[in-house]
Structure 1
């Protein structure tokens, strides 16, 4: 069978691009400055909302003295730093002073001479002096005066945003944290009560509800405190044996002993088992206490250094005979029996070594102490339970926020009182806008308007654009022989229903597919299906549907890797349980994806505000970088999406590995991914010309990285446009950062049908531009979806470059309208589609890692935490290219 089409400019040929030098990029630099708000949106109607923000009524206008703090040699643990700082030796000299827990302290008092003292922690706690002195030097030195009144000048526009403003904001941030940190367990800006609201997720993990608070400068030129619920997972307060059993989901302690027992090493000896290594890594750094009859250090905290490959019966210690003074060797098991009359039930478990030199304990006498954050990926069951626990309806969330405010009790906070900071007890209320929803256009010029419901269905509707080429060479493969598999009669019934449904939606399907039963290995099965379909119809297969018996992520990975990178054919994986029923709604949902992969478009949004219509010669680029789960080595994935039509409905996608947890997309990746997509856009959309207007929507970057996005990513993109136009490009960029990782929530009045849905969440189209937004930059919060559960969260959009010079309604309404044309949904979505697609692309591209499929997934949830980073594997490995055939898969929506 012959490839009827092959594009030499596909990514495979771009692996060896000669990249430009740094100096060549300097001439394309864009200005890095804030984008002032161009006014306020007046479209739609005004609504009123409460926001989980509380105005600061008064803050210190006195001079605050800042101090540098140094404890020991500078490498001490946070726990030790806290002990030294809280010592009486410090308190006797330095009073009314707050400390950031690391290097800085502040006080209204001017301690000109500072402090230089040795702190004896044993003496502080009336403990006998050990062999090693527990003494640390504490040095506190005054460095500068922080003028808090500069905040007032800045908020009034009379002072620039510079280091003095940052220093003042940093001080207020720590001022707010000081007293709650002494009462509750703190994680950054969140506080958790050890006896507060919690839920058992199973396997030794508890979910806790805590309080989040952060200070924000806002319109109209004031400071507010954002208070919200914070949900975090902690280790359950159980025995260390119980924690280890939970980690492995072991049946009991005997099963755990079996998992941790040494194994033969192949050379006549033994070595640590995989279970031992995994347990060692997971339990390391936990804080534990020893509990047994007669324990001389009851209540003392120790930090776990790791497991020792030896049981309590094998591990020998030196014991002095009180009668003779002779030193004898004795097992830990025997020592506990003779010294404390404690019989160890699980002596076969490994011993546990502490970070304190010479301290070891049997595992069964140790218990976890206090709140300790659980740092590992949750299981599917735990994740589902966590989502259910955290997903509170708006009324419940509002009640929790009110309780959180009472828990913080700002009015009676002695630290805030001493510094003169006052916080309003009432939530902010704001005037928001409810933007008009766009019409949704289908085939045959049929239009509907979802109003404020944010949802619609496909019954009786044709796709806005059906498949571009008649679907006359395709196949359906179905795996049999396993529980839950589909049979031939069910496949035939599904095929009839699928073809009928696609034709009803306007699809061009002149031929039925080839049906093939699959039994062999996945790679071989896809090869046989592809070859059989191609041989029967004498052309490159246009589509493969594969019906699998269950939801197995590894099976999905192998199918997609084979279809994308080996055969270059669009594919759709279906679960037998759904396919066998062939229900109309399920078929329509599948067909939205299939139609998109075959060049079609589900629907387009027609703006009600004409100014929100895309200008001619406009390109939209979305980008996202996703990182692997904590503890699993895999490269970060940088993904880019580029719209391929005049409406911004259809998108191409490309992805590359982006180093190890690197957020900014590196230059070579931008060139490799974007160059062929811009070329394709110029030839198919732009009529041979580059775009005049480029929107760049970026997800996942923090405020501190905004300038780097402009200085690096946008600079690199501009260089590509100049290169492809012979240095003649004069187009303009608008760059928008989309952020969902924030704590702002809005609450309409109860039963306000003009502003709330039936669950009490803000309606789709709710735009917030005041009271919690920046007093100087152009940012806004937008609700563009209906939340299926819990309290909905708006997306915070921040415009960091606007060379096009938009009016508010031009950009803000355009973003909202486009949330109605996400290709595979019959609801408006919460995030601008270009960014949504970039996230999809990054996740799908993990299937393209250049590793044998038989070795298993490297970054999926099933991977063990003990997977080490391969020594010889490059930090930034290239992904396998998507194969180019007559389907031109790299230039289709292969990722949808």
Structure 2
């Protein structure tokens, strides 16, 4: 194989189809299973690394058929679909003038041939290719061409000269066009016991008859996994509502803290005033032949099709059928006929009553809620949340759309009270298509020429892999996992028994004319339901996909972010206003109100009011100032940057021998920064001597690395500070690899542009001085002393950074080393393929115990307190059963086996991505609650020991609380200790002179994991740097 990851084929199996769906009318929804799969084994690779290219009949490519293209992509050049290059135009060499007859449909002088020997493409009229319209591309499509099926085999991997094509892929691989669910109309003829309704063929039905032995290379399970496939998805949905007591045994249900001043709040939860008071029955549904897709099953069995037999009030989740009445003569058989004459037998059986408060009951309420939003309010489901495209706001000058949405859930809370939570969401959708962005990426903007195939793939993968996209034809969100340079819209797959190209497919199914026949296809992450059906790969057409979300470049653009924030950053008052509007729309829309009323459901029109508690303000202690230790109480905004001015740090570190590296171009900025550092340092207790300076004359990565390694004196140099000209990621990564892996040395990278403005340099220099102090083992501040019961505690923060582009995970592990929480020990390590961290956890804890003992006179920690970040509700059992067990095992080996008393262990799950919001209402209006607000009643879960905490103050928008769930506690502490410690730890993140959302060790762990996972390529920081916050 050639270079790793470039031009790879995606290992698709044979081109069998798993649905023989009928042709649909333009605009008519298509069922999800109407997806294509590729076919035909690849031919041998040719000299350019692709499948063999037969001669193309005359009239298609004219004189180009047998020409030897200079671009090395191994196929004749084809006409561009926009008419920018004429089909019969002769081959031109790079730089050769292009004759006017090459562009018979265009006016004006012809452009110059580009690197592929084609004429440059002019601006394309608006509406054809999205963001491509005004892009200055030197060729018609902006990236290396992939020849259509039959000319270049789309399954063939990019190979070096003389290499053969890849082997046949394993079974269980498919293609998907991300199609929407078909709607079923009412008024169809039905009859009991012999019920026949004309409909599309069952997924895989005709294909099974034709293929006999099954599809996907003989693996029948790829399409027909088993009768449990739909039930498996249904079971996973029900698990969300299955209460499981995960609460330390010394804590009673509803336990609350007592410290702090009471404060009355409202929250974005709505109580049920009425729930179904009649008996609800749940029935199990089987289909024969089997249908594995939940969406397809819902389409087959719906209230319109079987109203005579089931009634008007029907909710079906794809497996369980909910009715407010009892069916007699079970099992009941119903039938729906496919257009090919095949009938689906629907068997309804296994009746049982749904008990109020049971998982089935909660599931039913959530089904009704979601159907109200989808069918009655006309909202669009994207992943798990609903958005309203009709109310989208366009930001024309930046090419964005903001879609407002809502996130809802119905759960049982303290006292078994049912409530609906609701929060306002926004989805950022770019008007640029993926294809348009590919055009931009495929051009070398320094030369104006198109990148070659490998470099184009690298550019696509670097920016697009991991991005979320939205399909234009059915608003489905997907995540890109790779670019298939060997496929194009002219690639073929077997659909309804015939070879069909993607281009033909979209025309027949959606009446969409694809304009670019050369674009490579994008691979997106399969959904869980698709994986259960054996579909491991999904392909989409870039031209039909919109970019979503914000890139790093956009996030760093202040003007763009401000324009977006106008629509997304809602104040507390505005958020409450929109939530009230949604509640009114939800209850008062005619169809929605009718659906709720038929089930006997009624919500309160007012938010839940509850009581929180405001923790007392923490004291911050710094160095000796005017003869005594300086301390102050944290103000109501939880920010103490002003109080730190001209006050010595708690443990300052002077710079006596250090290295300052910068380019000749930035010498003036460097000298100004140095003067400012020497000015701000002494009042902070930090004496800064003149550094050894190194001036770089050529801004090349190799020059930077050599300048640093050649001038570091290991026993003398304390820290190196490179002044980078710009935010150059490759340069930054190279420097960090050098000083964190090869030549272990503390480093402080600064971007010249950030200190160019002399009005801001004083503030930035202060932050740089604090960071360098922390990296060298100092400490800027500490909080007030911890209670005596907590002395000897070691607080551990664990977070896992998942890299979606490489499918690898890095665990950050940070432990405190003293009672003031000013010293830390850090470990970080790569976990392959998203593996959980328990395999290495025992070792990490053992190392931390020993480091603690070395720094505390031989004393081991008396209490172990773990904050575990990055765990979803469905993973709590894994943490309990595997990670907590690993920690206890490490305690047994390090303590019990050596005759030491085993310390108490507490494990707390932290969750940041939550929809809960709190609002403080008084005579001044609706505001955010102040920092230190604790809520541990009413909206907490009865099966957990959990609480919410607002630790930050935000100047704009609505503050988001953090959720703490104490899942294990042999320290046997009461709520006050947990809540007080959590708030205290939020004051100790030294990169911010204020409180943060999570305890500092968690944020440090995140920083360490992120550095290792990105800049260091998964390699752990050198052990010589583990004793301080070297990654800050």
Give the TM-score, by structure 1 length. 0.73
Choose 203-212 or 593-602, whichever is displaced more: 203-212
Change (3 A) 1:380 1:528: closer
Cα 1:440/1:428, change in 2 over 3 Å: same
What's the CA shift string for 1:238-281, capped at 9, x where partnerless?
Answer: xxxx735433364999x9xx9999x8899xxxx99997999999
User: Taking structure 1 as reference, are residues 142 and 769 closer, same or farther at Cα in structure 2, changes over 3 Å only?
Assistant: same
CA apart distance, 1:817:
2.1
The aligned residue for residue 433 of structure 2 is: 243
Alignment partners' CA distance in 1, 2:701 and 2:521:
44
The answer to whether the 8 Å contact 1:650/1:823 transfers is no
Residue in structure 2 matched with residue 765 of structure 1 by the alignment = 932
Kindly indicate whether the alpha-carbon contact (under 8 Å) linking 2:313 and 2:598 is maintained by their aligned counterparts in 1: no
Check conservation: 2:247, 2:945, Cα contact below 8 A: no
Matched residue SS, 1:413: helix
Asked if residue 451 in structure 1 is aligned to residue 648 in structure 2, the reply is no
Report the Cα distance in structure 2 between the residues aligned to 1:343 and 1:817, rounded to whole angstroms. 58
Aligned to 1:398: 576
In structure 2, what is the equivalent of residue 809 of structure 1? 976
Q: Identify which range, 596-605 or 471-480, moves more after superposition.
A: 471-480
Once the two structures are superposed, the pairs formed by residues 292-331 of structure 1 within 5 Å of their partners are none
Distance 1:316 1:416, change over 3 A: closer
Which residue does the alignment assign to 2:280?
Answer: 64
SS of structure 2 residue aligned to 1:827:
coil
Deviation at 1:641, TM superposition (A): 1.1
Structure 2 CA distance, aligned partners of 1:811 and 1:769? 11
Q: Relative to 1, partners in 2 of residues 1:84 and 1:378: Cα closer, same or farther, differing over 3 Å?
A: farther
Partner of 1:648: 821
The whole-number CA distance in structure 2 between the counterparts of 1:221 and 1:178 is 24
- Using the alignment, how far apart are the partners of 1:205 and 1:45 within structure 2? 44
3-state DSSP class of the match of 1:512? coil
Distance in 2 of aligned mates of 1:103 and 1:650: 55
Name the count of aligned residue pairs: 733
Once residues 267 and 551 of structure 2 are traced to their aligned partners in structure 1, the CA distance between those partners, rounded to angstroms, is: 31
Tell me how far 1:348 sits from its aligned partner.
5.7
Per the TM alignment, residue 786 of structure 1 is displaced from its structure 2 partner at its CA by 0.9
> Aligned equivalents of 1:733 and 1:36: distance in 2?
19
Q: Is it true that 1:44 corresponds to 2:260 in the alignment?
A: yes
Q: Does 1:146 align with 2:285?
A: no
Residue aligning to 2:944: 777
* 583-592 vs 726-735, greater mean Cα deviation: 726-735
Aligned to 2:656: 472
**Separation in 2, partners of 1:306, 1:478:** 41
Aligned to 2:870: 700
> Alpha-carbon deviation of 1:838?
1.4
2:850 is the alignment partner of 1:679 = yes
Residues 677 and 311 of structure 1, relative CA distance in 2, 3 Å threshold: closer
Selected match of 2:806 from 624, 633, 636: 633
Q: Residue 836 of structure 1 aligns with which residue?
A: 1003
Matches of 1:382 and 1:494, distance apart in 2: 26
After TM superposition, give the deviation of residue 406 of structure 1 in Å.
1.8
In structure 2, the partner of 1:14 is none
CA contact (8 A) 1:621 1:640 kept: yes
> What's the offset of the Cα at 1:597?
0.4
Question: C-alpha displacement at 1:285, in angstroms?
Answer: 9.7
The Cα shift of 1:752 comes to: 4.8
* Aligned mates of 1:332, 1:812 — CA distance in 2: 57
1:847-878: CA deviations, max 9, x gaps?
4645xxxxxxxxxxxxxxxxxxxxxxxxxxxx
Write the distance in 2 (CA, Å) between the matches of 1:672 and 1:781.
Answer: 32
Give the unaligned 5+ runs of structure 2: 1-245, 475-482, 523-529, 531-539
Residue equivalent to 2:841: 670
Greater mean alpha carbon deviation, residues 96-105 or residues 790-799 = 96-105
Q: Is the 8 A contact 1:35 1:801 kept in 2?
A: no
3-state SS, counterpart of residue 117 of structure 1: strand
1:740 alignment counterpart: 912
- The CA distance in 1 between the partners of 2:465 and 2:808, in whole Å, is 25
Q: For residue 447 of structure 1, give the secondary structure of its aligned residue in structure 2.
A: strand
1:783–1:830 Cα contact (<8 Å) kept? yes
Question: Relative to structure 1, is the Cα distance of residues 248 and 545 closer, same or farther in structure 2, using a 3 angstrom cutoff?
Answer: same
Q: What is the CA deviation profile of residues 770-826 of structure 1, one whole-angstrom value per residue up to 9, with x for unaligned ones? A: 221223532111111111431110111111122222233222122112212221211
Instruction: Indicate if the aligned counterparts of 1:514 and 1:533 stay in contact, CA closer than 8 A.
Output: no
Partner of 1:494: 673
Paired residues of 1:189 and 1:214 also in contact (CA < 8 A): no
Q: Following TM superposition, by how much is the alpha carbon of 1:695 offset from its aligned partner in structure 2, in angstroms?
A: 0.8
Cα deviation digits, residues 741-773 of structure 1 (max 9, x gap): 1111111115559xx8xxx22111111122212
Deviation at 1:196, TM superposition (A): 2.3
User: Residue deviations 1:564-585, cap 9 Å, x none?
Assistant: 1111111000111334537322
* Deviations 1:149-176, CA, capped at 9 Å, x for gaps: xx3xxxxxxxxxxxxx333322332233
Kindly tell me: are residues 702 and 572 of structure 1, through their superposed partners in 2, closer, same or farther at Cα, counting changes over 3 Å?
Answer: same
Cα displacement string for residues 690-714 of structure 1 (whole angstroms, at most 9, x for unaligned residues): 2111111111212232232122112
Q: Deviations over 1:523-572 (max 9, x none)?
A: 552343243241xxx72421001101112233222211211111111100
For residues 84 and 343 of structure 1, the distance between their equivalents in structure 2, rounded to whole angstroms, comes to 27
Other-structure match for 1:433: 613
- Which of 168, 171, 174 aligns to 2:361? It is 168
Q: Which residue of 1 aligns with 2:87?
A: none
Match of 1:381 in 2: 554
Q: Distance in 1 between matches of 2:981 and 2:453?
A: 65
Q: Tell me the distance in 1 between the aligned counterparts of 2:518 and 2:861.
A: 67
In the alignment, is residue 230 of structure 1 matched against residue 425 of structure 2? yes
Quick check: 1:97–1:105 contact (8 Å CA) kept in 2? no
Superposed displacement of residue 842, structure 1: 1.4
- The CA distance in 2 between the partners of 1:333 and 1:709, in whole Å, is 48
Note if contact 2:295-2:318 (Cα within 8 Å) is conserved in structure 1: no
Task: Give 3-state SS (helix, strand or coil) of 2:389's partner.
Answer: coil
Q: Is the 8 A contact 2:736 2:1016 kept in 1?
A: no
Give 1:854's aligned residue: none
Moved more, 138-147 or 741-750: 138-147
- The runs of 5 or more residues in structure 1 that have no matched partner are 1-29, 122-128, 152-164, 237-241, 290-304, 318-328, 356-362, 851-878
Q: Is the 8 A contact 1:639 1:656 kept in 2?
A: yes
Alpha-carbon distance in structure 1 between the residues aligned to 2:998 and 2:512: 60
Report the CA distance shift for 1:382/1:815 in structure 2 as closer, same or farther (over 3 A). closer
Match of 2:705 among 515, 521, 526: 526
- Report the counterpart of residue 657 of structure 1 in structure 2: 830
Task: State the SS of the aligned residue for 2:991.
Answer: coil
Shift of 1:332: 13
Q: In structure 2, what is the equivalent of residue 22 of structure 1?
A: none
| Alignment match, 1:294 | none
What is the CA–CA distance in structure 2 between the aligned matches of 1:614 and 1:503, rounded to whole Å? 38
Question: Which stretch shows the higher mean deviation, 764-773 or 613-622?
Answer: 613-622
- The alpha carbon displacement at 1:51 in A equals 1.0
Aligned to 2:792: 617
Partner of residue 120, structure 1: 337
Call closer, same or farther: CA 1:540–1:460 in 2, change over 3 Å.
closer
Corresponding position of 1:462: 648
| Residues 200/442 of structure 1: CA separation in 2 closer, same or farther (3 Å cut) | same
Residue of 386, 397, 414 corresponding to 1:219: 414
Q: Deviations over 1:12-54 (max 9, x none)?
A: xxxxxxxxxxxxxxxxxx9976943584333332221111111
Q: Secondary structure at the match of 2:666?
A: coil
Distance 1:440 1:275 in 2: 48
Partner of 2:479: none
Cα distance change of structure 1 residues 495 and 316 upon mapping to structure 2, 3 Å threshold: closer
Q: C-alpha separation between the residues in 2 aligned to 1:343 and 1:230?
A: 31
Residues 792 and 818, structure 2, Cα contact 8 Å, conserved in 1: no
> Does the CA-based 8 Å contact 1:545-1:571 persist in structure 2?
yes
Question: How many angstroms apart in 2 are the aligned matches of 1:655 and 1:508?
Answer: 32
Structure 1 residue 72: Cα displacement? 6.0
**1:593–1:54 CA distance, 2 compared to 1 (3 A):** same
Change (3 A) 1:842 1:139: farther
